């Protein structure tokens, strides 16, 4: 109940933040830009629209998650609103979870809006609503939840600029995981390979949430991937949130 | 009688700087606040008043020591259920309106919807902000923020209210209003713990005080016990007597216009001087015996350390 | 929440996601042919996009390309080989490896020697001081296409570059020989012979000179024989017979002074010694 209170409050704060609408505006622009780009191509126009549209939703969603997430806790500490809040009967972890779910709710709405614009554009072109395209968007949302939790974690102890850099690094590392896998094959020593394999397994693999290519090219997706991806997302997000709770527990607010 | 707030042997130090250097803020504080009284926590800036309050609230974790609020361990949620807090220079969520703001905190106490609405309305009326109920907090002035801060501290009808420098930055009217609210809280049976460095206000409303200097409590107790009733000196304002004559009377003399201010240290001589002035045909405008104030004690004690 | 509760949660979630990750890796996902390069951007714009980091962009694209071309699952990966390489060349024209390796991939994997030569041409154009590119191009032309004319052209380029191995010149001379340009061959082998710094090179040069010389002589003899045959309807019994009629100036001997072997029935003329066995 208390988590819900903080979550709704965070949602109110985010919804009233102008930065959010700026990003939404730009994402809409990009999605519509897809229409223009498709004119330049020879061949399948729809594919370009789908690709650009999905990429925009993914990119701007990530930007929203990072930009808003890194301010979540930092702003409360910096502006000292956290003093009054923690003087009330609320656990620190309830505060964190409330912040997290508030932002997740905001992102859900934003993604939904972007999807509507995207689907409308596609309908405009194909006179057909392809519901399948919502699948990669759902997984993009899952990815955004994970990124939000990471941004929240960094927000607990770092300034927004540094937190944004760290979160962005997390995002980039997450998408380059396959590169590490390739590198590991070339390491001669077995022991070193084991060490790096452990590191590789620990580092996030955000490609597990990436189904854009498959949907655009109508490739088959093995069904158990859905379940495992979702579980992976939940487990990793849980891990990061618990880490944030640990960091935040005994923090002195000077 | 149960202590509303009990602190024993509170120690807190911080490591600051790039090369961590240990700085001790609180060096073993012990104090006790009785239920239903107004307790003043005095000290110069940087003495550790705010740190103490943050320790009580669980915003800072003490190195060692024992704190109990309303009989509960200080970190427990039960303690916070009946506690209200107003921070120094309050800053609140500026994207919320006044009523949304109070509603948010009310929810954290689990207060039901209808009750929330009533409470919010009443509190806004109490602090004189009912017209500003729907204005976002970012448009509030300093005084208005202080008042809405008060209302959030009282939203849960607390048994003890902690106020950190509640009168700082207010104009005289604001100060009076806040003082009145605090006194009214005492009348309702609440305990008030307030920290300040404005001694005149403390003197006016507090029952007991503790004086904190550089992390140590150098004195605590009832104000009446700390301040003796001894008259230090008497100030008389007269007119119609020539300054030369006045000089004969002794004491310090300063003149402004046709009025002269006499400062007489010796209590015994006051009466004779009084008669002398009357016989000389002078007019006495005021006669004020000055007793020892809290400020005097305070300055004296600070100077000693 | 108690500390140990949180730490337990932490470990459990960590192990869970690591386990899930390993499980997910095992699920193979279909790759679209050429999916890694859905769009190959125009080179001109890519340069702007890299914001001045063109050199490292070239490195990264090259690294990616190596992995891409090693991936046997992508069936049509050679379709855009030249385009991808041209991007790397445009980014950093002085990065030498891509030219060389690109040519190797073209020849041995894509089996397109023409592409390899085009790649190496680019290398020559951007790096005229590198003898390796024309040298390799010559090899490919000679070995894979049997095109000695092209090879000769490349070897000529190579041998004129500072630092080129002496071999380049020899290959040039040999190529000239193969396209029957005996004059150039002779001249070049003579130069090699004269400028040889070690015995082995001198020997090689000498043998080649012998061969070229023999080829020139045999060509002259065969021309004369042909004229004789036109006239008389049959080959002469001896080569000497060609002299009086003026078909041949004189009976040539090989470089060692020996006579050429002549088979009157077939009109075959052969050198008396195998050049390498001298």
Cα C241 from chain centroid (whole Å):
46
Strand partners, C269: C262
CATH code given to domain B3-222: 3.40.50.300
Q: Do B105 and A16 touch (CB under 8 A)?
A: no
Closest C-alpha among C5, C6, C25, C17 to residue A235: C17
Q: Distance between CA atoms of A72 and A206, rounded to whole angstroms? A: 23
- Interface check for B107 against chain A (CB to CB < 8 A): the answer is yes
Q: Which domain holds residue A55?
A: 2-249
- Give the model confidence (pLDDT) of A87-102 as tens digits: 999 999 999 999 999 9
Contact B95 A1 (CB under 8 A): no
Q: Output the 3-class SS for A40-56.
A: HCCCCHHHHHHHHHHHH
Instruction: Tell me the domain boundaries of chain C.
Output: 41-179
Write down the mean pLDDT value for chain C: 84
Query: Cβ contacts (< 8 Å) between A2 and chain B: which residues?
Result: 107-108
| Chains A, C: CB pairs < 8 Å | 69
Q: Retrieve residue A146's tokens.
A: 């994970």
Closest CA to C227 of C213, C214, C252, C246: C246
ipTM above 0.90, yes or no: no
Interface of A with B in 13-52 (CB under 8 A): 13, 16-17
- CB burial of B229-256 (b: ≥16 within 10 Å; e: otherwise) equals eeeebbebebeebeeeebeebebeeeee
Distance CA C89, CA C102 (A): 11
pLDDT in tens, C32-89: 555 555 456 666 666 666 666 778 888 888 888 888 888 777 777 888 888 888 888 8
Q: Say whether residue C7 is in contact with chain A using an 8 A CB cutoff.
A: yes
Q: What is the dihedral of CA A48, A54, A56, A57, to 10 degrees?
A: 160
pTM for this model (two decimals): 0.73
Total domains in the fold of chain A: 1
- Mutation test of the interface with chain C: which of A48, A184, A236, choosing the one with the most C Cβ atoms within 10 A? A236
- What is the rounded average pLDDT of the residues A99-121? 92
**Confidence class of residue B305 from pLDDT cuts 50, 70 and 90?**
low
CA distance A73 to chain B (A): 13
One-letter-per-residue 3-state SS of chain C? CCHHHHHHHHHHHHHHHHHHHHHHHHCCCCCCCCHHHCCCCCHHHHHHHCCCCHHHHHHHHHHHHHHHHHCCCCCCCCCCHHHHHHHHHHHCCCCCHHHHHHHHHHHHHCCCHHHHHHHHHHHHHHCCCCCHHHHHHHHHHHHHHCCHHHHHHHHHHHHCCCCCCHHHHHHHHHHHHHCCCHHHHHHHHHHHHHHCCCHHHHHHHHHHHHHHHHHHHHHHHHHHHHHHHHHHCCCCCCHHHHCCCCCCCCCCECCCCCECEEECCCCEEECCCCHHHC
Question: What residues in A contact B96, CB-CB < 8 Å?
Answer: 9, 12
Residue B268, CB-side half-sphere exposure with 13 Å CA sphere? 0
Per residue in B106-137, pLDDT (tens digit) is: 999 888 888 888 988 888 888 888 888 888 88
> Which partners does chain A have (≥3 C-beta pairs < 8 Å)?
B, C
Q: How far is it, in rounded angstroms, from Cα A23 to Cα A232?
A: 28
* B49 interface with A at CB cutoff 8 Å: no
Within a domain: A254: no
More confident residue, A38 or C6: C6
Is residue A67 included in any domain, yes or no?
yes
Does residue B95 belong to the interface with chain A, where contact is any CB pair within 8 Å?
Answer: yes
- pLDDT tens by residue, A192-211: 888 888 888 888 888 888 88
Residue A171 confidence (pLDDT): 92
What is the topology classification, in CATH, of domain C41-179?
1.25.40
* Res C100 pLDDT > 80: yes
The answer to whether the beta carbons of residues A229 and A222 sit under 8 Å apart is: no
Strand arrangement, sheet containing B231-239: B252-256, B259-264, B231-239, B283-291
pLDDT at A45: 72
Question: What's the first-to-final CA gap in chain A, in angstroms?
Answer: 29
Mutate to test the interface with B, among A14, A75, A77, A88 (most CBs of B within 10 A): A88
* Chain A residues whose beta carbon lies within 8 Å of the beta carbon of residue B156: 88
Touch of C by A (3+ CB pairs closer than 8 Å): yes
Q: In angstroms, what separates the C-alpha of A17 from chain C's closest C-alpha?
A: 31
CB contact under 8 A, A208 and C22: no
Please give the full DSSP string across A62-82, using - where no structure is assigned. Answer: HHHHHHHHHHHHHHHHHTTHH
Cβ–Cβ below 8 Å for A87 and B83: yes
Domain range B231-304, CATH architecture: 2-Layer Sandwich (3.30)
Average pLDDT over residues A10-26: 86
Which residues 231-250 of chain B have a CB within 8 Å of chain A? none
Residue A86 lies in a domain: yes
Q: Where are the domains of chain B?
A: 3-222, 231-304
Domain presence at residue A214 = yes
Q: What is the pLDDT of residues B190-228, one digit of tens each?
A: 999 999 887 888 888 888 988 888 888 888 888 877 776
pLDDT per residue over B154-174, tens digit each? 998 899 999 998 888 788 888
Answer yes or no: is pLDDT of A41 > 90.
no
Average pLDDT, chain B: 84
Mutation target for A interface from C20, C64, C68: give the one with most A CBs within 10 A: C20
């Amino acid at each position: 109940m208390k988590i819900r209170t903080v979550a709704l409050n965070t949602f109110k704060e985010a919804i009233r933040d102008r930065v959010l609408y700026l990003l939404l505006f730009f994402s809409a622009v990009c999605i519509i830009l897809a229409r223009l780009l498709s004119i330049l191509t020879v061949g399948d126009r729809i594919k370009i629209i789908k690709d650009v549209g999905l990429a925009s939703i993914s990119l701007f969603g990530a930007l929203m998650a990072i930009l808003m997430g890194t301010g979540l806790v930092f702003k409360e500490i910096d502006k000292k609103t956290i003093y009054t809040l923690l003087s009330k009967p609320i656990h620190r972890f309830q505060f964190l979870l409330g912040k997290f779910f508030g932002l997740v709710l905001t992102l859900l709405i934003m993604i939904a809006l972007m999807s509507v614009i995207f689907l409308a554009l596609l309908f405009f072109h194909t006179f057909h609503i392809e519901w399948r395209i919502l699948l990669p968007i759902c997984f993009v949302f899952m990815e955004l939840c994970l990124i939000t939790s990471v941004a929240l974690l960094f927000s607990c102890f770092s300034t927004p600029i540094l937190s944004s850099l760290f979160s962005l690094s997390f995002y980039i590392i997450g998408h380059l995981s396959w590169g590490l896998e390739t590198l590991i094959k070339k390491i001669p020593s077995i022991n070193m390979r084991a060490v790096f394999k452990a590191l590789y397994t620990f580092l996030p693999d955000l490609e597990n949430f990436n189904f854009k290519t498959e949907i655009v090219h109508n490739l088959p997706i093995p069904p158990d991937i859905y379940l495992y991806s979702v579980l992976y997302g939940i487990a990793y997000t849980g891990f990061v949130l618990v880490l944030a709770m640990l960091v935040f527990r005994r923090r002195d607010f000077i | 009688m149960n202590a509303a707030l009990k602190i024993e042997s509170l120690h807190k130090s911080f490591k600051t700087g790039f090369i961590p250097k240990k700085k001790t803020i609180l060096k073993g504080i012990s104090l006790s606040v009785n239920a239903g009284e107004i307790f003043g926590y005095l000290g110069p800036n940087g003495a550790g008043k705010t740190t103490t309050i943050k320790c009580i609230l669980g915003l800072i974790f003490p190195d060692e020591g024992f704190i109990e609020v309303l009989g509960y361990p200080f970190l427990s949620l039960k303690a916070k259920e009946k506690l209200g807090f107003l921070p120094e220079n309050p800053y609140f969520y500026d994207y919320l309106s006044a009523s949304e703001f109070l509603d948010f905190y009310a929810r954290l106490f689990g207060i039901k919807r209808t009750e929330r609405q009533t409470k919010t309305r009443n509190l806004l009326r109490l602090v004189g902000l009912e017209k500003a109920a729907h204005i976002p907090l970012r448009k509030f002035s300093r005084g208005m923020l202080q008042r809405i801060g008060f209302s959030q501290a009282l939203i849960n009808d607390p048994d003890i209210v902690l106020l950190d420098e509640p009168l700082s930055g207010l104009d005289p009217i604001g100060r009076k209003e806040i003082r009145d609210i605090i006194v009214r809280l005492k009348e309702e049976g609440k305990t008030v713990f307030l920290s300040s460095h404005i001694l005149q206000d403390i003197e006016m409303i507090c029952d007991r005080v503790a004086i904190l200097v550089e992390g140590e409590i150098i004195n605590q107790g009832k104000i009446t016990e700390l301040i003796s009733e001894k008259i230090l000196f008497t100030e008389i304002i007269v007119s119609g007597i020539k300054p030369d004559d006045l000089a004969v009377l002794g004491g310090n003399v300063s003149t402004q216009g046709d009025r002269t201010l006499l400062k007489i240290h010796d209590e015994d001589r006051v009466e004779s001087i009084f008669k002398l002035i009357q016989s000389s045909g002078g007019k006495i405008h005021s006669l004020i015996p000055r007793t020892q104030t809290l400020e005097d004690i305070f300055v004296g004690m600070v100077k000693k350390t | 929440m108690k500390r140990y509760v949180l730490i337990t949660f932490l470990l459990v979630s960590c192990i869970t996601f690591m386990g899930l990750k390993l499980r997910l890796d095992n699920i193979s996902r279909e790759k679209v042919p050429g999916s890694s390069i859905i769009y190959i951007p125009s080179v001109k714009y890519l340069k702007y996009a890299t914001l001045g980091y063109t050199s490292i962009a070239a490195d990264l694209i090259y690294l990616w390309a190596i992995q891409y071309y090693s991936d046997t699952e992508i069936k049509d990966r050679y379709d855009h080989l030249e385009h991808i390489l041209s991007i790397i060349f445009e980014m950093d024209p002085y990065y030498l490896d891509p030219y060389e390796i690109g040519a190797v991939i073209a020849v041995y994997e894509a089996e397109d020697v023409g592409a390899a030569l085009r790649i190496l041409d680019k290398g020559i154009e951007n790096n005229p001081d590198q003898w390796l590119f024309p040298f390799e191009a010559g090899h490919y032309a000679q070995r894979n296409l049997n095109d000695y004319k092209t090879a000769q052209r490349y070897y000529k380029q190579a041998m004129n570059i500072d630092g080129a191995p002496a071999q380049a010149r020899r290959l040039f001379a040999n190529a000239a020989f193969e396209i029957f340009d005996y004059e150039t061959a002779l001249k070049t082998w003579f130069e090699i012979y004269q400028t040889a710094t070690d015995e082995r090179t001198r020997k090689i040069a000498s043998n080649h000179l012998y061969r070229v010389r023999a080829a020139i002589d045999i060509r002259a003899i065969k021309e004369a024989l042909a004229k004789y045959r036109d006239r008389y309807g049959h080959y002469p019994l001896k080569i000497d017979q060609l002299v009086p009629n003026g078909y041949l100036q004189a009976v040539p001997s090989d470089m060692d002074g020996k006579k050429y072997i002549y088979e009157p029935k077939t009109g075959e003329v052969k050198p008396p010694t195998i050049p390498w066995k001298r």
